[in-house]
Structure 1
Amino acid sequence: MNSNDQRQEYRLDNQLTVIIELGSSANGEPILVVSKSLDISANGMRVIANETIDTNIILRCCVRDAQNDRQFLLVTEVKWCRPHESEGDYLIGLSLFDSDGTDIVQWKEFIAQICSG
């Protein structure tokens, strides 16, 4: 494992739609960033988006698995955000929280199902 790699668990190369809620606009409409996962795990994911997101903040997100017609409402902390090699895109590291009122248990079951084949 790379010494710069802080991953503590196996990552799966699944591409899912990840909608991150940044807050609300002046008129109360949610401010959303639509991204795609590059890899996922039970406790986090790496996504690519076309805009930067502040780090060390806690946000809600919705992960959509269109292939299986499922979605997961999760609470996440933005661990890092850095420019991607393709112009205008950013890689973002998200850590998931075990939070009441979210789909974290279902998410972990989803990851376990993928791992078991």
Structure 2
Amino acid sequence: MNKFVDFFSFIIAEFKDEASNILEIPQDTFRHLTNLKADSISLLVEEGDRALLFYIRDEECVVLGSILNKSSRKFKQLLILSIDPINENILDNTGNILEKKALKESLKNWLIKDIA
């Protein structure tokens, strides 16, 4: 079973409160759109010309930022998250514990950041 089910539910609830456009993307559809393999349903959180893509790869949740320009799209890897098997905390790629609310605020700030 996907360890990130609760985290995805949290992201959906929090970003719906922010009136973001949220889509759950099936594995095969995600692969068609990104040419990346996901181990389960992925999430897209969109705000205008920026979006966050959350997908599960092996035992990790990869968070990509997507920026649309006039004629192209750029992906930027923002985070690689894991779940501590003992206490179920969310960890960054260096093993530091991330608080859900702080993580959500950081991602929200990335979404609304002005492109310079």
With normalisation by structure 2, the TM-score equals: 0.29
Task: Considering fraction of residues, name the structure with more strand.
Answer: 1
By relative contact order (CA 8 Å, sep 6+), the higher-ranking structure is: 1
